[in-house]
Amino acid sequence: MRPVRSISHTFLLRLLLFRRMLKPRRFVLLLAFVVGVLAAAAGLLLKWLIHQIQYLLTHQFNVEESHWLYLVYPVVGIYLTMLFVRYVVRDDIGHGITKILYAIARKNSRIPGHNTWSSVFSSAITIGFGGSVGAEAPIVLTGSAIGSNLGKLFRLNNHTLILLVGCGAAGAVAGIFKAPIAGLVFTIEVLMIDLTMSNLLPLLVSSVTATAITFFVSGTSTQFEFELHDAFSIARTPAYLLLGVFCGLVALYFTRVMNGLEKFFGRFKNRYAKLVLGGATLSILIFLFPSLYGEGYDLINLLLNGKGDEFLTMFNNSLFYGHGNLLLLYLGFLIIFKVFASTATNSGGGCGGIFAPSLFLGSVSGFFFCQIWNNVKPFGMELPLNNFALLGMCGLMSGVMHAPLTGIFLIAELTGGYQLFVPLMMVSVCAYLTIMIFEPHSVYSQHLAQRGELLTHDKDQAILTLMSMDNVIERYDKEVMLSKDMSLGRIAHCITYSTYNVFPVVDDAQKLEAVLYVDDVRHVIMRSELFNSLFVRQLMKPYVARIDIDDSMDVVLKVFARTKAWTLPVVDRDGVFIGFIRKSRVLTVYRQMMADYSND
């Protein structure tokens, strides 16, 4: 019997030989197809798991009563997710989209292999038990991880890995929403994948493949049923614009409160303290407002298609049941507390994204805005509730994700509301412009942008972000690190047996103290009578600046420009010497990467 390792090695060799038989572009298209199939399969599996868990837990509930189990299920779900991550995955799953952006910018697009399956099961447990988050971001991470690990398997270069990560994301969005155009636009707009001809076709292949697989398995109907009864009217333009501004402000509230709550939860180092606080917050909110249970897609469908008293069914299982006069109050509470429920879910130990919360909050915000407008009736005009619930989804998606095109195409494809394309554009643009006044980056990219780790469509900045410190640092052996008490004879030995023109001066803990340049000792290096009487402390110079190992390449270039230096030392967070960075090396790597991008 052949060893397993030998079989796997043989299989890998055959895969690599197969790769060489195809032209590079055709091989990438084939991988894009495979990524699309696998991303769609992961999305279908996750949706099925969530549905089965939710049905098992809640199908016996009486709609006229509040259920104490709403106080239990979310805590159990978060706890089970935490155990799954700790004892099965044994790694940080992380926030879906943010983790992808970080992997592209700082990890050479390499996403851990467990993300091809861990996010599916952890988010199914979280959402199935009532976690007020969405399944879409975990699936996007899953799809991107599939693309990344396929690329690693075939030893593809970094640029192709970025493309395959984008294919995974595009296939995931297209598959789970049945929205191929939105999948493509999302990848370009949110993940910052460059729109070149060589990138476009693989992204399209992955998107269309994932959509086709989902259509084949679950039918061609849209994600949300929507029947247009009231077509676009130019007279409603003021209402569309005001709705966009309102959605932008709600998106700003969502973003700011989420960031604040995440910082608050971050103060607790004990995971069980987070579990108790997050689980208790979520359970109480779901008990008071059952609409916050899970993804909330039932309420979205109700707001898109309901009429008259049908809207009051959102009070089912809640303390509001039978109090139809409190509809606006109930909707207002949902707008306020949705962000608390979503953040408590993730920060407490659960796993999920903010796609679904954005759609949920958008439909509620649009409906809420329309109800208030119809109560006041400015210009004597009454607005269609269902249409504005749909438009609100677009506005919140555009504002929260800073992705106006994704919001437009996603909502149009999700609902089939193409006849409202012009209002969708109006609301999307107004929401985006409103939040941009206050927040230049989305909830996904905010922290990465602050650290200079965000890949953007600015090619110059993108290359600086992608450049790795490991590629430009010249590391020194301990044998050529000097101490202040070393003699000139020791310096001469180091210079003779190395090619360096600058040496670090360190203490016993190898913390950087100064530097010594060969040019500064050239006039005495051959005078043997001084070998034992001249020491490093007399010849060394203070460094003009030093680079921290965590600094971005943008910061490195700014330090070079400010100091006019050609060589700078690099240290870690404790000041321990690591090596030197030379400006010539940075420029050489930069030019090479720019050439690679230009030849694409």
pLDDT tier for residue 360 given thresholds of 50, 70 and 90: very high
Provide the edge-to-edge strand list for the sheet that holds 473-475.
Answer: 473-475, 577-582, 567-571, 547-548
CA distance 353 to 351: 7
Model pLDDT for residues 392-410, shown as the tens digit of each residue: 999 999 999 988 999 999 9
> What's the 3-state SS for 463-531?
HHHHCCHHHCEEECCHHHCECCCCEHHHHHHHHHCCCCCEEEEECCCCEEEEEEEHHHCCCCCCCHHHC
CB of 486 closer than 8 Å to CB of 514 = no
Asked whether the CA dihedral 130, 135, 137, 143 is positive or negative, the reply is: positive
**Residues in CB range of 250: below 8 A, 6 or more apart:** 335, 361, 365, 396, 399
- The residue with tokens 């501004």 is 245
For residue 16, is pLDDT > 70?
no
Per-residue pLDDT, 433: 96
CB of 445 closer than 8 Å to CB of 98 = yes
CA distance 125 to 76: 9
Structure tokens at 410: 């996603």
Q: From 1.10.3080.10, 3.10.290.10, 1.20.1050.10, 3.30.160.60, which CATH number describes the 22-218 domain?
A: 1.10.3080.10
575 phi and psi angles, rounded to 5 deg: 85, 5
With left for phi above 0 and alpha for psi between -120 and 50, is residue 546 left, alpha or beta? beta
- R_g of the chain, CA atoms, integer Å: 29
User: What value does the mean pLDDT take over residues 435-452?
Assistant: 74
Model pLDDT for residues 448-466, shown as the tens digit of each residue: 555 555 555 555 566 666 6
CA distance 393 to 407: 8
For residue 131, is pLDDT > 50?
yes
Higher pLDDT pick, 155 / 18: 155
Model pLDDT for residues 307-353, shown as the tens digit of each residue: 877 888 888 877 887 777 888 999 999 999 999 999 999 998 888 88
CA distance 295 to 170: 21
CA distance 120 to 561: 47
Per-residue pLDDT, 594: 65
Name beta bridge partners: 548. Answer: 571
CA distance 511 to 264: 35
Go through 255-284 and write b for each residue having 16 or more CB atoms within 10 A of its CB, e for each that does not.
bebbeebeeebeebeeeeebbbbbbebbbb
Total length of the chain: 600
For residue 171, is pLDDT > 90?
yes
CA distance 219 to 280: 39
Which CB contacts under 8 angstroms, 24+ apart, belong to 232-236?
232/419, 232/420, 232/422, 232/423, 235/379, 235/381, 236/381, 236/383, 236/423
3-state secondary structure of 568: strand
The ranges assigned to domains in the chain are 22-218, 234-456, 461-598
Per-residue pLDDT, 4: 46
**Strand 512-517 relative to strand 502-506: parallel, antiparallel, unpaired?**
antiparallel
Per-residue pLDDT, 436: 94
Alpha-carbon 430 to chain mean position: 24
Equal fold, 22-218 vs 234-456: yes
Task: Say if residue 487 is exposed, middle or buried (CB neighbours under 10 Å; 0-12, 13-18, 19+).
Answer: middle
User: What value does the mean pLDDT take over residues 137-148?
Assistant: 92
For residue 1, is pLDDT > 50?
no
CB of 400 closer than 8 Å to CB of 255 = yes
**pLDDT, mean over the chain:** 85
Domain boundaries 234-456, corresponding CATH code: 1.10.3080.10
Q: Which of 93-102, 240-249, 414-423 has the highest mean pLDDT?
A: 240-249
**Strand 512-517 relative to strand 547-548: parallel, antiparallel, unpaired?**
unpaired
For residue 7, is pLDDT > 60?
no
pLDDT tier for residue 599 given thresholds of 50, 70 and 90: low
What CA–CA distances, in Å, run from 207 to 87, 141, 202, 364, 540?
34, 15, 9, 29, 60
For residue 42, is pLDDT > 90?
yes
3-state secondary structure of 156: coil
The class of domain 461-598 in CATH terms is alpha beta
CA trace torsion 56, 60, 63, 68 (10° rounding): -80
Structure tokens at 151: 């690329």
The amino acid at residue 394 is C
pLDDT tier for residue 64 given thresholds of 50, 70 and 90: low
% of the chain exceeding 70 in pLDDT: 88
**Residues in CB range of 311: below 8 A, 6 or more apart:** 302, 303, 327, 385
Per-residue pLDDT, 553: 80
Per-residue pLDDT, 164: 93
